[in-house]
Amino acid sequence: MDIILEKKKGLRPKHYGYIAVAALLIYAAYQLWFTSSVSTFRTEKGKLSIAEVVEGKFDDYITINGNVAPIATIYMDAYEGGRVTEKLIEEGAIVKKGDIILVLENRNLYEQILASESNLALKQNDLRSTKLTFDSRQVEGRKSLATASTNLQRFKRNYEQNKALYEEELISREEYLIAKENYELSEKQYEIVKLQTEQDKELRETSLTGLDTDLERMEKTLSMVYERLDHLNVRAPADGQLGFLDAEIGQSIAQGERIGQINVLTDYKIEADIDEHYIDRVQRDLMAVLERNGKDFSLRLRKVYPEVRSGKFRVDLVFTEDKPENIRTGQSYNIKLQLGESSDAMLLPKGSFFQSTGGQWVFVVNQDGDEAIKRNIRIGKQNARYYEILDGLQPGEKVITSNYDNFGEADRIVMN
């Protein structure tokens, strides 16, 4: 009788060979699928810049380039138009306030001065004539008032005498009434002369006050015209250096035209342009440092201009303490502008890849260093050396930091 033998369960040695072959087939299939479905770019590793993500202190500053400028610039505009007859000071010269720089000539202004002088002379003559007329009337009025007063006293005395005689029946009623009527008439005439004299006095005062006001106004007008004549001498408005002068002898200058500027050299400022990316973080009173010949000089941000032009906005910085020796207008300096306090962060060295990706993704190199895969990241702040990595990378990972423009739409970089 045959005995049935049971099959032993479990893997036999030959099964391991089958599994290994299957794994190789699966890996080969995966590689074939990956390389066919993922866009790949091949390049030489030596042509790429590769940097490692590290942990460290992030210094929140930016480096900007600024130019030295005078602390203030005063522009010179022509108060009066005219033709340039003399040019007494050249560009670049040091001037004092009030120094004559240009002399202009204006024939129309000369005619206005002559007309104003003539009108003033006529007004003065009118005033003198009016004063003489009123003085004469005043004298006549006083004479008439004195005569009326004397007549009033005389007729009053005669009336009082005739009244007493009439009461004693020494004179006739007719004589009494004539004396009374003469007195009353004299009294009325005196009041009329007195009223006329007072009115003449008020009229004189009012008229002369108006004439004096007109005369004073004309004198002021003439004085202003003389000031306009003095403005034909273009003077320095402040102590400083004549920065530029746009005027030549014989040239006609229009009223209000910009003809030059004075640079005030009592102090200096630094003018700098900053990328609009930082416009929300840059504000007044931020501190900065300028390094020259191994020495640091402190600066304070004094003004932020609101206009953005060509992707940049302008700021002015001033020295808080010492200034570099032999500082000159137009010199260029690199400045570190501090935007915030230092903090711990993951840091990626800066590279030109940012211009290609905007910092939204990078190519991360594998451990073998023979390929790199595209990966999304999130970048925070940045300074002159590092980007602050907020998400998407880990310390120790390596990233291609050179320009990505040649990679096209590739998602994978193979490095030979």
pLDDT per position as a tens digit, 119-152: 777 877 777 787 788 778 888 888 888 898 898 8
pLDDT per position as a tens digit, 360-385: 999 999 998 899 999 999 998 888 78
> What's at 265, amino acid-wise?
L
pLDDT of residue 274: 92
pLDDT per position as a tens digit, 153-208: 999 999 899 898 988 888 899 998 998 999 999 999 989 988 988 888 888 777 77
Euclidean distance between CA atoms 186 and 152, whole angstroms: 5
pLDDT tens-place values along the chain, 416 residues long? 455 545 455 555 555 666 666 666 665 555 554 444 568 899 998 889 999 999 998 888 888 999 998 888 889 999 888 999 999 999 889 999 999 999 999 888 888 878 877 877 787 777 778 778 877 888 888 888 889 889 889 999 998 998 989 888 888 999 989 989 999 999 999 899 889 888 888 887 777 777 777 778 777 777 777 777 888 899 998 898 898 898 899 999 998 899 999 988 888 899 999 988 888 889 999 999 988 888 889 999 999 998 999 999 999 999 998 888 888 888 899 999 988 888 889 999 999 999 889 889 999 999 988 999 999 999 988 887 899 999 999 999 999 999 998 888 888 999 88
Q: Name which of 53, 127, 158 is nearest 377 in CA terms.
A: 53
- What predicted TM-score, i.e. pTM, was given to this entire model? 0.50
If you search the block for the tokens 């004075």, which residue do you land on? 262
Q: Which sign, positive or negative, has the C-alpha torsion 345, 349, 355, 361?
A: negative
Give the SS3 label for residue 74.
strand
Contact 80, 104 (CB under 8 A): yes
Q: Name which of 380, 305, 375, 314 is nearest 347 in CA terms.
A: 380
Euclidean distance between CA atoms 125 and 123, whole angstroms: 5
pLDDT of residue 23: 65
